[in-house]
Structure 1
Amino acid sequence: MVMSKNIDKIKDTRVNCYSVMTQFQVEEYLKMVKSAFENRGGLEGQRDTLKTNTAIRIRKRMIQDIEAGAVLPPIVIGVIIPQDNFAIIEQLEDNNAFLEFINKIPEDSISIIDGMQRTKALSVALKDNANICNHKIRVEFWIASQINSLIYRMLVLNTGQAPWEIRRQIETVFQGIIKELKEKFSEIEIITLTDKNHKNKRSSPGQFQSDDIIELFLVFGAKKVKIDIAEKVAEEFIKLDFIGSISNPNFANIFYEVMFYLYKFDQAISRYRNGDIEGYFQEGKDLFSSQSACIGFVTALAFSILGRPGNDYKPEEQNQKWQDIKNKTDVLLTKIENLSNDEIGNFLDFPTLNELISKKPGRKNFFEREFFLQAFNLLISEKFNIDNMTQCWRALY
């Protein structure tokens, strides 16, 4: 049974998200998060319990403190629910009713956002000392209907601890992003890090690795082809750019649709076969087997839809720009679908691509990302009305 009768709930009207602070008995809490904890927080990319000597010593001290009656900082749980269920939260007044509500939510919609180490310590402490089963702990629930809301809260607000890097913050709710993408566009095949049926390697068009998708999500929101930046000041600018991007409530949906159009391009050109071409890009599916090409495609669209860094378009303008781009893209896709194998080859012009991209100065990955960014920027500026990709491949030169 939950210990405290009343719950403390506040609605964040900025991002349509509820913060609900409540108290649980240790045993009840561990039952609630059992599945999420066993799945590393229920979050793909979430760190497991730390196993360094220092971490183990700290956790042992935490266990001793728990047994002595210490009150831990609140554990933060993220929950995604349908918008229609928000009215139910308004009516909940006590913890028992709230627990009943939470227990009806699918396990894959509940994640431990902040508190893996504390959860591990509680689990060990309970095994060693059954008397702590009735100890109280504080749990804060972030309840939202969209991933956008949780990401915004994580980036703008924090729990008072040392701030995470932006990649870690996005990874924390990554499972929800993947889940929503699968629900909206089931045609896209997502290879997860734990998928035993794959060797974590793309073998067919329309397949994308889960960790590549998170990178695409990051570059789309930050509007940069390079997001692995060590300098803290630069990291903060990226964070601000990302916050500006997700201020549009439709941001996540736009990203999912961008992924779908990446998928559609991938499928359309994958019919092309030619074993006589020298270089990396030989068959149609090779283009978006390159993560650099995917990043260039997604970032170029981010520039045109969201605005360049420091110049964010208003949400209404973003939605309209994306609709215009989709309309023009559909025309080009229809054109490609009606081409023969040789005609697709002429359109793609892989010989020119292979020749130009082989002239890479400096760091390979960043050169290739910039190369494809400029190529797809030109494609968009030409309103997708081109005879072939040759001029796009030459955009950087």
Structure 2
Amino acid sequence: MQLNNVTRLKDNRTECYSIIVEMTITDYLDLVNNIYRKKGGLKGQREPLKSSSAMRIRKQMVKDIKSGTILPPIVLGLIVSDVEFAEIPQINFERLTEIINSPSDGNLTIIDGMQRTTALNEAIEEGANNLQLIRIEFWISTKLNSLIYRMLILNTGQVPWNLRRQIETVFSTMINEIALSVPEMEVYTVDDPSRRTKGGQYHANDLIELYLAFGGRKEKVDTKERLADEFTRLDFIEATENPTFSDIFYGSLKRLTLLDIQISRYQSGDNEYRFSNGIELFKSQPARVGFITSIAKSIYGRPGVERSHDEIELIKIQVFKKLDNLIEKLELFNNTQLGDFLSLNLLSEKLSIKSSRVGDFEREFFTKSFEVLIEEASKIVSMDVCWLSY
């Protein structure tokens, strides 16, 4: 790959470097097609265009590319090591090309320009000049958090992907960071034959919802309703503005995992109730969402509340300490003591009501319950007080 006319600026706000380069359409498509090959190619990454106006715009874009038009720069996000990041201010063409051409799996993603990329693919298939130069902007950082913040800012006010689709584009990188931050957790995907057999095992898709709930500080994220999604996006931008956001999320996942592992030790010896054994509690996605949301609300406040970085850090330490002490206490419990503490029979009874909105009800129920758990963690003797709080 030949890079031309490299310019670089540092964004001190997000600790990112913005580097704009020129490359041929062929070199660019080779780079990004390699990114998405394992995920079924580029076509699987974007929701199909349904409106006639959107399809007309893309058709016109393809026609213009074939005529030699200059597209606005496509923005790629690249996660690098601390050592590589330190090289950026004085990096030469050869070294930059080497870093760009050999990203770790999941560490390079399109954060603005998927439709332009698809149009470029179609234009090449229809005979466009594959040596035509295009501008590519790389946002280079050591942390995913900075790229997500940049992606949300770039795509706000456009006809955008919904919030979940945007998070999915960077999820491979998030999984890499989770694996490093929460080694006790096991993550499996739709292609993985593994299934939950013990505490601390979760499906990758469920983690995306946990991330959305944590960033939006809501137990229910409605990505199908445009207005609700836009308000959640704004809440997410406020949250990811904090440079320690990802670290706090990973810390919250760690507490979920360790608590799940301890609770899952409990076995009742029967299956009379929906929640008879400990492993069944956090097998429930509403329970996981409720737990994560309750931590987010405790640390950041409810949506609309603004806390300073110092205040957030102080509250985080307090919340994590409470949960760590609770986990340490549960480690010492035998099976009978765990059963008495969990009160799973009462939980099953509270969730036995019939409702057309069972999923929404359970998310609200668990969020409220775990908010009480965090408040009372230092003196709680039974989960009764949690299950009875809703």
TM-score (norm 2): 0.90
In structure 1, the residue matched to 2:140 is: 143
- Alignment pair present for 1:91 and 2:90: yes
Asked whether the equivalents of residues 10 and 17 of structure 2 are also in contact (C-alpha less than 8 Å), the reply is yes
Q: Flag the 1:59–1:193 CA change in 2: closer, same or farther, 3 A.
A: farther
1:57-68 superposed matches below 5 A? 62-68=61-67
- Compared CA separation, residues 390 and 367, structure 1 to 2 (3 A): same
CA–CA separation in structure 2 for the residues paired with 1:327 and 1:379: 13
What amino acid is aligned across from residue 114 of structure 1 in structure 2? Answer: D
2:45 aligns with 47
**Any idea what SS the aligned residue of 1:105 has?**
coil
Take 1:9 and 1:159, find their aligned partners in 2: how far apart are those partners?
24
Q: 383-392 or 106-115, which moves further after superposition?
A: 106-115
Flag the 1:161–1:2 CA change in 2: closer, same or farther, 3 A.
Answer: farther
1:36 equivalent to 2:35? Answer yes
Residue among 315, 327, 342 paired with 1:321: 315
Query: Equivalent residue of 2:281, what SS?
Result: helix
2:2 is matched with: 2
Aligned with 1:108 (options 106, 123, 147)? 106
2:249 paired residue among 242, 252, 255: 255
Matched-pair contact (CA < 8 Å) for 2:263–2:278: yes
Residues 29-71 of structure 1 show CA distances to partners (whole Å, capped at 9, x for unaligned) of 233223213234999x972584879788876665544333232
1:241 aligns with 2:235: yes
Cα shift readout 1:164-190 (whole Å, capped 9, x = no counterpart): 322222222222111100122222111
| Aligned counterparts of 2:44 and 2:244: Cα–Cα separation in 1 | 25
Deviation by residue 1:97-122 (Cα, 9 ceiling, x = unmatched): 53233224324311123344443444
- Match of residue 159 from structure 2: 162
Distance 1:329 1:342, change over 3 A: same
Whether 1:224 and 2:218 are equivalent positions in the alignment is yes
Equivalence for 1:390: 384
Structure 1 residue 216, shift from structure 2 partner: 0.6
Q: Which amino acid aligns with 1:2?
A: Q
Cα offset, 1:252, TM superposition: 0.3
Shift of 1:133: 2.9
Q: Report the CA distance shift for 1:123/1:240 in structure 2 as closer, same or farther (over 3 A).
A: closer
Q: CA deviation at 1:382?
A: 1.0
Please say which of residues 214-223 and 302-311 is displaced more in the overlay. Answer: 302-311
Secondary structure at the aligned position of 2:202 is classed as: strand
CA contact (8 A) 2:213 2:293 kept: yes
Q: Distance in 2 between matches of 1:370 and 1:42?
A: 38
Classify 1:323/1:41 alpha carbon distance in 2 versus 1 (closer, same or farther; 3 Å). farther
Q: Distance in 1 between matches of 2:40 and 2:146?
A: 19
Amino acid at match of 2:188: I
Instruction: Say if 1:16 and 1:256 are closer, same or farther in 2 by CA, change over 3 A.
Output: same
Q: For the Cα contact (< 8 Å) 2:326–2:377, is it kept in 1?
A: no
* Change in 2 beyond 3 A, CA 1:331/1:20: same
* CA shift digits 1:17-40 (9 cap, x unpaired): 122221101222233223213234
Pairwise mapping of residues 205-354 of structure 1 onto structure 2 (< 5 A)? 205-228=199-222, 230-354=224-348
The answer (yes or no) to whether the contact 2:3–2:23 under 8 Å persists in 1 is yes
Deviation at 1:72, TM superposition (A): 2.9
Q: Which runs of 5+ in 1 are unaligned?
A: none
Q: Is the 1:41–1:111 contact (alpha carbons within 8 Å) kept by the matching residues of 2?
A: no
State the alpha-carbon separation in 1 of the partners of residues 249 and 361 from structure 2: 24
Q: Deviations over 1:121-147 (max 9, x none)?
A: 444544564x72321112111111111
Contact 1:8 1:20 in 2 (8 A): yes
Q: Distance between the aligned counterparts of 1:306 and 1:394, measured in 2?
A: 25
Do the aligned partners of 1:325 and 1:383 also contact (CA within 8 Å) in 2?
A: no
Question: Which sits farther off after the overlay, 264-273 or 354-363?
Answer: 354-363
What's the CA shift for 1:15? 0.9
Q: CA deviation at 1:78?
A: 1.1
Q: Distance in 2 between matches of 1:59 and 1:233?
A: 25
The two structures, once aligned, show a CA RMSD in angstroms of 2.8
- Looking at structure 2, the residues matched to 314 and 223 of structure 1 have their Cα atoms a distance apart, in angstroms, of 16
**Aligned residues of 2:18 and 2:137 also touching (Cα < 8 A):** yes
> In 2 relative to 1, CA 294–58 (structure 1 residues): closer, same or farther, beyond 3 Å?
same
Specify the alignment match of 2:197 in structure 1: 203
Q: CA deviation at 1:376?
A: 0.8
Which one-letter code corresponds to 1:69 in the other structure? G
**Contact conserved, 2:290 with 2:363, CA < 8 A, in 1?**
yes
Cα gap change, 1:157/1:127 in structure 2, threshold over 3 Å: closer, same or farther? closer
CA contact (8 A) 1:245 1:312 kept: no
The total of aligned residue pairs comes to 389
- 1:82 corresponds to: 81
**Aligned twin of 2:25:** 26
Helix, strand or coil for the counterpart of 2:159? coil
Residues 21, 140 of structure 1: 8 Å contact kept? yes
Relative to structure 1, the CA distance from residue 127 to residue 222 in structure 2 (aligned partners, 3 Å threshold; closer, same or farther) is: closer
For 1:136 and 1:177, how far apart are their aligned partners in 2?
Answer: 32
SS in 1 for 2:299: helix
The CA distance in 2 between the partners of 1:153 and 1:237, in whole Å, is 17
Q: Is the 8 A contact 2:33 2:41 kept in 1?
A: no
Q: 1:165 to 1:48 in 2, by over 3 A?
A: closer
